[in-house]
Structure 1
Amino acid sequence: MPRERQSVSDTVSWLSFPRQAYPNFYLNTERIRHRFHGYLGSITQFSESVENSGEVNASMKALFLDAGIKRGHGGSVNMAWDLIDPLPQALVLRAHLAAAGEVHTDARSAPVTDFVLARGRGGIAQPPQLADSPLWGEVGVSPSVVTEIAAEQRRQAAIGTSGDPAPLYWAAFANTDRGLVVSLLGDASLIGTDVRSYLGLDMTYCIFGQKLRDWHSWTLLSPLHVWVEPPGTANWG
C-alpha cells in the first residue's frame, strides 16, 4: 500500500532538512527531468500550498527556485528553465509524491512502475566482478540471489539506455523490513561522492525509484536517486 499522505507541516519539515547532509551516490538526471515534467502541473500546485502554509523559510524557497519553480507577477507560479538543478528537482518531486500518498515504502507490495522509497542496511557492489564481491556473503545474501542480480546486471549492461550510457552497473541494495531491494546504478550517473570510500561501512542505504519487477526473494527498482545515511532515525522523508 502507498504511504499515507504527508501533512504540509511534515513536508515543510522534510524540505527544510539540509540537502547535502548525507552523501548522494546516484542521480539519474534524465529520468528525474522526465518525471518532474510529467508532474509539473501538480508540483506547481504543491509548491503553492507549501509556500502558503506560512512555514516556509529562505532555504526552502531557494530549493524550489533551484528546481526551476519561481513566482511570477501577481503570485503566479512558473518554470525558470535556465535555473533547473536535478538534485532539487529530485527532492521536490519526492516531497510532492509523498504529500500525495504516491510513494510506497514496501517495494514488494507496490505495483510495477509505482514510486518506491526503500531504506535499510545495505551496501553497494562494484563492477565488473559484481558476483564475486565478498559483500554479499557478509550481509547474508544467498548465492542464488547473487546469481540472479549478476544476470540482470549483465542484461542491462548489454542493452544500455540513453540515461545510463556507461556499460558498468553498480548494484546498490537495501535490506528493508519487507525484503531485499536492489537497484543497478549506471556508472555515468554516479555523482560527487567517492562511492568506494563507503564500501563496507555500516550505513543506511536509501533508494528512490520505480518498481521494475519481483524475483522470488528480492525486488528490482529503476533508480532515480540513491544516497546513504548513518544508521538510525530517517531524516529524508
Structure 2
Amino acid sequence: MDWTDIDSLERCNSTDALWAQALQIFATMGFDYAIYLTVEGDRSHPHIHTNLPQIYEQLPSHRDPFLDHCCNSYEPQFTGTEFLSDHPYLEAEEMAFIRGASAKTGFRAGIAIPVRLQGSDRFGGFNLGTARSRDSFIAHVTGKTDSLRFLCLIIHRRMEELRQTASGPAANPSKPDAEGAGFNRPLIAPPPAALTRLSPREREVLYLFSQGLTSKECAAVCKISPHTVSEYANSIYRKLNVRNRVEAIGVLAAAERTPDRNTQL
C-alpha cells in the first residue's frame, strides 16, 4: 500500500466504487476474502460490503459474532476456523456459523480490523481472510497490521462520508470538537487514551505522520492546507517536548505499546 492507493480511495464517489477499489488493494496484499460491516450503537442500520454474501443467507449480518468479539477494542484479532481454538468463549451457534462460512467459501484464516471514527457511535470493522493455514497466515500478516489498520480507517472514513451523502444525515453523525476549525472530516486518530496531552486533531496529524505521509499528503487526507498541517506539527512538538517528527513518532509508538492506555503523556 502506498500513497497512490490512498489517493485512489479518496477519489471514489460512490460506496460501490470505493468497495471495488478496496477489494483490488486487498487482493494485492494477499487477501482473497473481505467483509466490511458497521452498525449503529444499538445494532440498527447495518452497512455491509463483502465478496462473500452467501455467508449471511442463514444469519442476519447484525448478528455476526464478529461484531461482539472483534469490535469491542482497537486491537486486531485473528479469525476463521484456523483460529477457533484461540476463542473458547464462542458459543456453539457462533462456532457453527464460522465453520459454515468456511465450508461455503474457503475462508480459513483471517484478521479482524475494528474501526471507529472519533465522535461517531457507529462501530464495526473489516474481516480480511484467506484459505491459508494458521502458521502460513500468521507469517503473511506479521509486520503488516499497522498498515492494514491505517488502510481500513481510510476506507471506513470515506465509506461513511459517501454513505451519509447518499442517505442524508446519519442517525448519530460525528460530533465536532471545540477546536475543529479547518477540519471538515471525521477523525481517524489513535485511541483517545493515547497521548492525552494532544488534541484530537493533533493526534490525527501525528498518526498520519507515523504512517509515512508527508505534510502535503497529510493535508490532502485531512482536506486542509499544508500550512495548517505545519501549525499542528509545531504544536505537537511543543506539547511532547520533542524537536522533530521522528521524535514525535517515537513518543506515539511508545504510547501505543503502553499496557495502561490511560497513562497521561
Q: Same fold (TM over 0.5)?
A: no
Which is strand-richer, 1 or 2?
1
> Highest relative contact order (Cα 8 Å, sep 6+), 1 or 2?
1
Which is helix-richer, 1 or 2?
2
Q: Which one has the largest radius of gyration?
A: 2
